[in-house]
Each structure stands twice: as C-alpha cells, then as structure tokens.
Amino acid sequence: MMHKSTKAIHGGNPYRSHFGEVSVPIFQTSTFSFPCAEEGAARFSGESSGYVYTRLGNPTVNALEENLTALESGWRGMATATGMAAVTTVFLSLLEQGAHVVSTDSVYGPTRVVPETIFKKLGIESMFVDTSNLRQIENAVRPSTRIIYLETPANPTMKLSDIAGAASIAHRHGAVLAVDNTFASPFLQRPLEQGADVVVHSLTKYVNGHSDVLGGMIITGNQVLFEKIRPVLNLLGGTMDPHQAWLILRGVRTLPLRVERSQENALKLALFLKEHPMVTWVSYPGLPDHPHHELARKQMDGFGGMIAFGVQGGLDGGRIVMNSVRLFTLAVSLGGVESLIEHPASMTHASVPEHERAQAGILNELVRISVGCEDFEDLRDDLDQALNHIPLGLAGRSEEEKDLDELMREIDT
C-alpha cells in the first residue's frame, strides 16, 4: 500500500539485517555452503529456498529483484547482466522455431537487429510496425505470433503505444505482451498494471541513474511466465553480479528525485527548442501538440526526460550541433544525472538499414537528448549556442544538395 517514492526506498520483502546494517550488504560470494548433506540436496531439488550458487540466486541480487518487482506491481523479477540480456532471454524463453514476433519499428537498435539476424537463422520471424497505431498491430498478428513487443516511449522517436489496447490484442490472439519500460522507468509507468505480461528494463539507464554500471531486469505478471523464463536465464548465464545489484539498488533510492528533476528540465527545454529557428520539429510527450500527449497523460505519471528534435541542415546540422555542445556530453545511453546528446542515425541505430530507419521515423536530422539534473539555464544556453553554430546557408537546403555535398566529400577523401 506504499506510495511509489516510498517503494523506491523500502519496496520488496524487508531485508533481515544481521548486524543492524541499514544498507543491504554486498554478498560477494560465488557459492554458498550447506549445513548438512540433506539440506544441500533439498536446495538443489527446490524443496528448500536456501542459496546454492550466485548464478542461481544471491541475497543482494534478490533484494534488487524484490524492490523493482514491488515498484512495477509484478509477480517476480529476474536481474540480468545487461538490458539486452533481459530482452534476448525473454525472446529465447517464449519463442520456438516457426514463431512470429510483432514489435515496435523504432525500437532500440540491437533489439531490432537480434530478431532480424540471429533469430531469423533459428526459424523465427519478426515484423516491425508502428505500434502507436493499434490497427497496425492487429493487422500484423498471425496465428504463429507468440510475442507482441512494445517500446513505449519509443527509442528514439518518442512515439507512445497504447499498452492496454495492445494487451487486449495480444491476449485475444493467445500472445504475450512484453513492454520495454526503460524510457519511463517504473516511477512514471507500470505496464503490468495496464495488462502487459512481461516488463523488461535496461537498468543501466534511469533506474541506476549514474552512468556507471550495466544491468537489466525482467519482471513477470504471473508465476507461469516466471517459471518459463527463470530456468532459461539461469542456464544461459545472463544473470547479475552482486556488486552490480548493490550499485543499482543504491540508484533506485534516488530514482524519484532524479526523474522529477530531469522531466522538469525536459519540459522547459522542449518549449525552448520549439521556438528556436534552427529546430525544425520537437517530439516530447509533454507538449500538447505531441500526437500521443493524451495517451501519455492517461498511462504515464509524467512525461520523462527524453527529447527528440530535428535540426536545420539535416545530417550536417546534427553533426555541427553535437560537435559544438560544451555542457551536454556527446555519448549514447540515457537516464543519468548528466545530460547526454547523440545522433541515432549514425550511432545507436546505425546497424539498422537506412530505409528501415526512415520508415520508422528515425530521420538523419533527428537528435536525441537525455536531459539530466543540471540547472535548466545552463542546459538551455548550451543548446542555444550549439544550434547557432549551424550556418544560415545550411538551413533550408534540399536533400539533393546535401547528398551532392556528401558525395563530393567522399570523392575528395
């Protein structure tokens, strides 16, 4: 019955201290001893809940799993070594040869590449559609569809998908709805409460919040799915280290404070960017003219700290902005206390073919920023001076002229 900010600090089964410690200790051990042979046998058979081996379970890791399960209103959680370990484990647990996946088209680059390459060789088919349109999801579903996979808000376009609507479609066709909740975090959005079956996270991002550790999480809404996924995770070995878990658990404690500050900054920056002459468009769910603004108000508790925007001059304009920032850090990832800027077409989504990027709305002019917790005025001033580095002659030029310049540069090289 706790509120979400309290859950971030106290959520999950209370840790039973041994010496009065306030912080959960790091149980940095690979294996656990048994008091007797009979207890060892009972633990291996599952009759006893004691620990055996850290790949299979560890008190520090379990503390993180229970905490995030409470925040997501889930049944059980499974911590993984990385966000991609969480994604691929869900796929490998629930798909078989001949199965079909429907996914958000503007999904995180590697999440799209894995089904299109590795899983394709295993006889698993995938289709990527604009999941912000429920009709496209419905039309893409086949009798062999096993998973509908949403990323909402989507990376990097900031499109939103209707979780409850997608859940209705998935369940009507006997499929599982999985949602990547990385961009929102459980502080702003809890897909399991809206009908999703599985939630995945890259804990590297907002949940940890300090750009210093990798991690992922799978949280299921019921026991059946947990018992399908957990053995696969244990066997493939994509589980989390206890020191990772301790660092991320420390990050969870300040998640509410960090998210509230970053989204306060983000809304102000989005309004500023809308009026800047070197910005062609802004995609931020907190803006009333965002096409999914009302959906965001319905299924989220806030609009988050991620902004996508287009710049004058297309690809060249984007390069100039990123090479001109002084306070924003030019780096991939997101969700840290520091503000980051990146160019998806040449970085996070470079592995996705250009025609697929364009189809998903990942344009060459698109710049993505993760707004941090600095003072707004400093962030605004930095973006302003960086955008003003775009030459006036570059703005408004045709794509054909830009392509010709790019060709001439390649010839010179």
- Asked if the bond preceding 153 is cis, omega within 30° of 0, the reply is yes
Q: What is the DSSP string of 110-166?
A: HHHHHHHHHHHHTT-EEEEE-TTSHHHHHHH--TTEEEEEEESSPTTT-----HHHH
Query: What whole-number distance in Å separates Cα of residue 3 and Cα of residue 187?
Result: 10
Strand partners, 199: 179, 219
Supply 326's token pair: 């002084």
Q: What is the pLDDT of residue 397?
A: 54
277 φ/ψ angles, rounded to the nearest 5 degrees: -65, -20
Assess contact for 77 and 219: CB atoms under 8 A. Answer: yes
How is residue 31 annotated by DSSP? B
Model pTM above 0.85: yes
Assess contact for 68 and 186: CB atoms under 8 A. Answer: yes
3-state secondary structure of 261: helix
How much of the chain is helix, strand and coil, in % rounded to 5?
A: 45, 15, 40
Assess contact for 380 and 269: CB atoms under 8 A. Answer: yes
pLDDT tens figures, 324-362: 999 999 999 999 999 999 988 887 777 778 888 888 888
Q: Is 3.90.1150.10 the CATH classification of the domain at 256-412?
A: yes
Q: Is 3.40.50.300 the CATH classification of the domain at 4-253?
A: no
Query: What whole-number distance in Å separates Cα of residue 330 and Cα of residue 83?
Result: 21
β-pair type (340-342, 329-330): parallel
Share of the chain above pLDDT 90, in %: 84
Mean pLDDT of 104-110: 92
Query: What whole-number distance in Å separates Cα of residue 85 and Cα of residue 69?
Result: 18
Query: What whole-number distance in Å separates Cα of residue 308 and Cα of residue 294?
Result: 18
Average pLDDT, whole number, for the chain?
93
Assess contact for 48 and 39: CB atoms under 8 A. Answer: yes
Quick one: which H or E segment has residue 255?
A: helix 255-274
Q: What is the pLDDT of residue 402?
A: 53
CATH 3.40.640.10 in the chain is located at 4-253
In the block, residue with structure tokens 């429920």? 134
Q: What is the pLDDT of residue 400?
A: 54
Q: What is the pLDDT of residue 15?
A: 73
Q: Which of 110-114, 234-238, 312-316, 346-350 has the lowest mean pLDDT?
A: 346-350
Instruction: Tell me the HSE value of 367 on the side-chain side, using a 13 A CA sphere.
Output: 33
β-pair type (340-342, 176-180): unpaired
β-pair type (125-129, 145-151): unpaired
CATH 3.90.1150.10 in the chain is located at 256-412
Helix ranges (DSSP H) in 275-338: 293-299, 314-324
Residues with catalytic annotation? Answer: 55, 108, 180, 205
Assess contact for 86 and 114: CB atoms under 8 A. Answer: no
pLDDT tens figures, 171-229: 999 999 999 999 999 999 999 999 999 999 999 999 999 999 999 999 999 999 999 99
Judging by beta carbons within 10 Å of its beta carbon (0-12, 13-18, 19+), is residue 87 exposed, middle or buried? buried
